[in-house]
Amino acid sequence: MGKKILINFIKEHKVSYTIGVTFMLLTSYIQTLFPKVLGDTIDILKVNNFSNKDVYINIAYIMLIALGTFVTTYAWRNLVIGNARNMECHLREKLFEHFEKLSPEFYNRRKTGDLIAYAINDISAVRMTFGPATAMSINGIVICLISIYSMARAINWKVTLLALLPIPIIVLIMTKIGGIVRKRFKKVQENFASISDRVQENINGIRVIKAYVQEDKEVEKFEVLNEKMSESNLDMIRVSSYVSPLIEICFTISFVLNLIIGGNMVLEGSISLGSFVAFNGYLTMIMSPIISIGRIITIFQRGMASLNRLNEIFDTEIDIKEIEDCVRSSIDGDVEIKDLSFNYPGAEEAVLKDINISIPKGHTLGIVGKTGSGKSTLVNLLLRMYNVPRGKIYFDGVDINDYELKSLRDSFGFVPQDNFLFKASVSDNIKFFKQIYEDEEVIDATKNSCIFDSVMSLNDDFNTVLGERGVNISGGQKQRISISRALIKNPDILILDDSLSAVDTITETKILENLRRLRGNKTSIIIAHRMSAVMEADEIIVLDEGRIVERGTHSELLEKEGIYYDIYKSQFHEEDNEFGNEAS
């Protein structure tokens, strides 16, 4: 998949690539003119009573060569290297788009630091391969071919081949070293991912670390990872550091052979001094791309290793798929669940078992139960965060699998347990960066979620920028801003997943009153551990070990004196007398 994206990108930009490569070839050709012109100039200077005009013409040629090299190099670098940057941007966008489509189950298996490494280091390595490394390869090959031909013309093929004898040895060594570099670079990337993951965990959990005085322990753990990172880099450097010295030794042999053989030929008069200088100039030009072979091979090996890693991600199947003729209309509000059982992928035991629920439009369903009883799982299935078997969940009589994902999820307003706020203004967090809402709507949403006064007390009210994950406000404030985000949407179905746990009972009562007023004709689902949040619901279900063990209204469930009764009694034990009267 990753290779296909690259091929498609190159096809889309084939015109600019063709023009860029043309200028690159032109640059290589122009560069190879310099040794010849320099050699001719030296031969002119050897002649007694030489013509100043000929010298000036050759100097003009050298200036034109320099100017031509500048212009053509500027052109191909903007086109080829520029396209490589665009490719990097395009590939990163495609990767991020793919990340957005993957199911929560994928993220349960992967570390955040590893995914960050894919988006930064791996894509950068691919860009280096298909940008600078490819350009250096083409430029080097052309220069070498033209230089070798020109060297043969300047002296002869025998001397040329003798001078270039060490080059095949260099290429063979480079190929062997490249394979080792590729393996070791993969290890470097893995260690980078581990370090990124450790840093991210420590930043997010810094308060817990400080509370338990674990700073020194975390530093020790980081030092171990840092040492592994250093060792893997050094292992790679130890191999790649052989490259330049080996190339220099081989070229030193070439120059020595050339000085001995070519110098004797000059003394014998079989070649001119200018031809000998041109020959050495070409040999010097060949030296530069050959020396770059080590770097090019290293970059290519890194890039291919990174491309293979990216292919693993791109080849990850998108679990949640839509049918071709999916329903693109929004949900009206009727919800029906029939005999639903659900296992998480790879798990043997079912999290939900034989769930049957009917929620008419405009009704409120309360869901209570112990931790781990399947409450949040049920909500995730309604949002189709996981695949749902056909014939189990219906909205307005239509199977959940027949809906377009966007239309389905656009119909919901969801406030999860883990309230996530972005590093942005309060207003942008409520609007979710959508500019379709007016300021009055934002204000109304905050008033209905009882956060308006708190927002107005901030330094810059609605324009106050929140810290990462809302670090500079309280848990209750984060919950109420998240509720505002859901309310401003005015969704067909509102889901509150234990979203009032961090607010006091008085504020909770006000928010629930506002919800009943606002959502009289719309469907709501409230999950809560606190009984007061669901007492007014049209129906309450009690989940235990994935099954519905009790259902009914608040008063009906109290009369049954089952699990709901026990939870209610434990929460209101200070009001036993009042509770006893109500229960009877």
Alpha carbon distance 441, 444 (integer Å): 5
Written as six digits, the tokens of 155 are: 């002296």
Q: Are residues 68 and 169 in the same domain?
A: yes
**Is 318 in a helix, a strand, or coil?**
coil
Instruction: Determine, yes or no, domain membership for 186.
Output: yes
The SS3 call for residue 167 is helix
Q: Does residue 265 share a domain with residue 153?
A: yes
Rounded Cα distance between 284 and 38, Å, is 13
| CA dist., res. 404 & res. 533, Å (int) | 32
Which residues have a Cβ under 8 Å from the Cβ of 572 and sit 6 or more positions away? Answer: 531, 578, 579
The residues facing 540 across adjacent strands are 366, 552
Q: Which residues of the chain have a pLDDT value below 50?
A: 574-584
Residue 209 domain-assigned? no
544 membership: H or E segment, kind and range = strand 539-544
* Residues 84 and 136 grouped into a single domain: yes
Instruction: Give, in order, the Cα–Cα distances in Å from 129 to each of 89, 136, 171, 298.
Output: 15, 10, 18, 9
Range of the domain at 181: 2-191+237-314
Instruction: Round to whole Å and give the CA distance between 279 and 148.
Output: 9
Same-domain check for residues 353 and 449: no
Q: Which two tokens stand for residue 528?
A: 């809560």
| Per-residue pLDDT at 48 | 60
Q: Are 579 and 569 a contacting pair, CB within 8 Å?
A: yes
Look-up of token digits 């010295």:
245
Q: In this predicted structure, what is the pLDDT of residue 582?
A: 43
Over residues 243-258, the pLDDT tens digits come to 777 777 877 887 787 7
CATH number at residue 42: 1.20.1560.10
* Amino acid at residue number 441: E
Q: Are residues 143 and 249 in the same domain?
A: yes
d(CA 238, CA 236): 5
In a domain, 251, yes or no: yes
Asked if 446 and 455 touch (Cβ cutoff 8 Å), the reply is yes
Q: In what order do the strands lie in the sheet with 547-552?
A: 412-415, 493-497, 523-527, 364-369, 539-544, 547-552
Residues 406 and 535 in one domain: yes
Which of 314, 337, 365 is at the close of a domain?
A: 314
Q: How many CB atoms lie within 10 A of CB 445?
A: 25
Separation of alpha carbons 160 and 162, rounded Å:
5
Residue 510 confidence (pLDDT): 92
Claim to verify: residue 43 and residue 119 sit in the same structural domain? yes
| Residues 432 and 300 grouped into a single domain | no
The answer as to whether 208 is a domain residue is no
Q: 3-state class of 355 per DSSP?
A: strand
147 with 30, same domain?
Answer: yes
- The Cα–Cα gap between 299 and 304 comes to 9
Q: For residue 366, what are its two tokens? A: 């309360």
Between CA 504 and CA 514 the distance in angstroms is 16
Q: What is the DSSP letter of 99?
A: H
Specify if 564 maps to a domain: no
42 and 139 belong to one structural domain: yes
Sequence-distant (≥ 6) Cβ neighbours of residue 172 within 8 angstroms: none
Phi, psi values for residue 210, rounded to 5°? -70, -40
Kindly report, residue by residue over 407-418, the tens digit of the pLDDT: 998 999 999 888
100 Cβ partners below 8 Å, 6+ apart? none
Round to whole Å and give the CA distance between 425 and 443. 14
Strand partners, 525: 365, 495
Amino acid at 341: S
* Whether this model's pTM surpasses 0.85: no
Place of tokens 């592994």: 228
Q: Are strands 539-544 and 493-497 parallel, antiparallel or unpaired?
A: unpaired
Q: What is the pLDDT of residue 398?
A: 92
What pLDDT does 527 receive?
Answer: 92
Residue 346 neighbours by CB distance under 10 Å? 8
Sign of CA dihedral 501, 507, 508, 514: negative
| Phi-psi group of 305: left, alpha or beta (phi > 0 → left; psi -120 to 50 → alpha; rest → beta) | alpha
Residue 210 forms part of a structural domain: no
Q: Is 364 helix (H, G, I), strand (E, B) or coil?
A: strand
Q: What is the DSSP letter of 562?
A: S
User: CA 240 to CA 178: how far, in whole Å?
Assistant: 8
Helices 33-46 and 14-31: crossing angle in degrees, nearest 10, is: 20
Give the Cα separation of 224 and 230 in Å (integer). 10
Report the C-alpha gap between 217 and 575 in whole angstroms.
47
* Alpha-carbon gap, residue 51 to 316, rounded angstroms: 73
Letter for the amino acid at 129? T
Half-sphere exposure for 295 (CA within 13 Å, toward CB)? 14
CA distance 359 to 523: 8
d(CA 210, CA 274): 75
Domain boundary among 272, 290, 314: 314
Radius of gyration for the alpha carbons in the chain, expressed in angstroms and rounded: 36
Is residue 64 in a domain? yes
Ramachandran assignment for 156, one of left (phi > 0), alpha (psi -120 to 50 degrees), beta (any other):
beta
- The answer to whether the CB of 565 falls within 8 A of the CB of 557 is yes
Provide the 10 A C-beta neighbour count for residue 15.
9
Is 287 contained in some domain?
A: yes
Yes or no: say if 542 and 528 are a contact pair by the CB < 8 Å rule.
no
Task: Identify the three-state secondary structure at position 496.
Answer: strand
332 and 465 share one domain:
no
Give the residue among 450, 396, 389, 454 at the shortest CA–CA distance from 426. Answer: 454
Q: How far apart are CA 302 and CA 220, in angstroms?
A: 30
Looking at this protein, which amino acid is placed at residue 448?
A: N
- CATH code for the domain in which residue 356 is found: 3.40.50.300
- As for how many domains the chain has, the answer is 3
Q: Does residue 137 sit in the same domain as residue 109? A: yes
